[in-house]
Amino acid sequence: MDVRELVGQARLGKPRAVARLISLVENAVDNPAEGGAGPAGGDRASRALREAMAELATGAARPHTARVIGLTGSPGVGKSTSTGMLIRAFRRRGSRVGVLAVDPSSPFTGGALLGDRVRMQDHATDPEVFIRSMSSRGHLGGLAWATPQALRVLEAAGCDVILVETVGVGQAEVDIARLADTTVVILAPGMGDGVQAAKAGILEVADVLVVNKADRDGVQATVRELRTMTSLVEAPWRPPIVTTVASKGEGADDLLAALDKHQAYLEESGEARRRRLARARDEIEAIALAQLRSRFSALHRDSLDTLAERLLGAEIDPYTAADDLIAALG
């Protein structure tokens, strides 16, 4: 099947075509060496991926726009269960739902994602739900590079809502917050030090705060602490705090209401467009950097190796070496 045909099938919502297109993205991250050298040389993406993205971004059928909702939080707070609850809530409205379970804990993939798949299997036969887990191997900016392109595929497949689930540790949740229209940070009561640490920077990324497992001890204390933190927010949007018991579906309506309120705020304030523009900038920049990086790799055998030898030999400093490397790009 050629790329245009594949994109056409994806636009019709065929799950296999959607899966194959996302695999194109994922494989490009995993195997930069396989990236076909385009006319510019050293291009990390395969030719097929380039063609697919061109068709998706500028093809005759203008892509559908999806609401992108990021879900993040420490391991164990119930992200997958919350994602499941939101899938059901949006399905009750008749929305087509995409889920991208992004695993930043590469190279430690496997177990956790299989777990997610199992937990989400009650949606496996619903043709209006696309669930995809994506791992990004250890390449610089892998997730920042791959996720916007995977979103493009899910949008083309007609998803109204795309839930992006990622572990809230490290670079990943910063990337997700930059990518999503609305970022939901999930906490659970009584998680100890981890949550205490997490709270410190939470307001940098959270649009909506969820305290899940609200049938456990300590939920009121956690809510109180969060309320104290958010009361200091002077930005036009103050993150609401929603309590849920995702495993029982409790709080789904409250969470949906908070998400809708944020969406309305985004539209009214013009922030929606600003976020989408920022996302487009990030997407372009990530692709450009990846291309430059693979051109560096192509220089390995000569310039970069020589420069590394000279750095080890104390003949050059790393900044001068970097200048030389950039100059060698020509």
Distance CA 90, CA 205 (A): 23
The pattern of x and - marking residues 232 through 261 that bind a second copy according to CB under 8 A reads ------------------------------
| Count, residues near a second copy per rule CB under 8 A | 84
Q: How far apart are CA 256 and CA 28, in angstroms?
A: 35
Q: How far is the CB of 183 from a second copy (least distance, A)?
A: 12
Which amino acid is it at 123? H
Chain-centre distance for alpha carbon 270: 22
What's the CA gap between 97 and 160, in Å, rounded?
Answer: 6
- Closest CB to a second copy among residues 97, 135: 135
Segment contacting a second copy (CB under 8 A): 221-229, 239-247, 262-270, 291-299?
A: 291-299
| Interface region with a second copy, contact rule CB under 8 A, candidates 91-99, 154-162, 248-256, 321-329 | 321-329
- Residues 16-55, interacting with a second copy (CB under 8 A): 40, 45, 50, 53-54
Q: String of b and e for 256-287 (b: at least 16 CB within 10 Å)?
A: bebbeebbeebeeeeebeebeeebeebbeebb
* Residues 177-196 contacting a second copy, CB under 8 A: 193-194, 196
Shortest distance (Å) from residue 127 CB to a second copy: 27
By CB under 8 A, tell whether 104 contacts a second copy: yes
Q: Mark the segment that binds a second copy (CB under 8 A) among 198-206, 210-218, 220-228, 231-239.
A: 198-206
| Nearest Cα residue to 186 out of 327, 319, 75 | 75
Q: Which is nearer to a second copy, 85 or 321 (CB)?
A: 321
* DSSP H or E segment with residue 75: none
Q: Please state at what angle helix 3-11 crosses helix 47-58, rounded to 10 degrees.
A: 40
Among 14, 117, 216, 293, binds a second copy (CB under 8 A): 293
Structure tokens at 241: 């705090």
201, 233, 257, 267: which one contacts a second copy (CB under 8 A)? 201
Give the orientation angle of helix 271-298 with respect to helix 318-329, to 10 degrees. 90
- Rule CB under 8 A: which of 205-224 touch a second copy? 205
**Cβ closest to a second copy, residue 200 vs residue 268:** 200
Of 86-94, 111-119, 244-252, 261-269, the segment contacting a second copy by CB under 8 A is: 111-119
Exposed, middle or buried, 108 (CB in 10 Å: 0-12/13-18/19+)?
exposed
Of 235, 269, 217, 210, the residue nearest 72 (C-alpha): 210
Cα 158 to its chain centre, rounded Å, is 18
Q: Smallest distance from the beta carbon of 91 to a second copy, in angstroms?
A: 27
Closest CB to a second copy among residues 92, 318 = 318
Applying CB under 8 A, the span of 3-11, 104-112, 235-243, 256-264 interacting with a second copy comes to 104-112
- The encoded tokens of residue 289 equal 């950097």
242 DSSP assignment: E
In the complex, minimum distance from the CB of residue 186 to a second copy, in angstroms, rounded to a whole number: 13
Query: Which positions ≥6 away from 286 have C-beta within 8 Å?
Result: 141, 144, 145, 148
State the minimum distance, in angstroms, from the CB of residue 324 to a second copy.
9
Residue 49 beta carbon to a second copy: minimum distance, rounded to whole angstroms: 8
Task: Find the binding residues for a second copy in span 121-180 (CB under 8 A).
Answer: 138, 140-142, 144, 148-149, 167-172, 174-175
- Least CB distance to a second copy at residue 169 (A): 5
117 lies in the binding site for a second copy (CB under 8 A): no
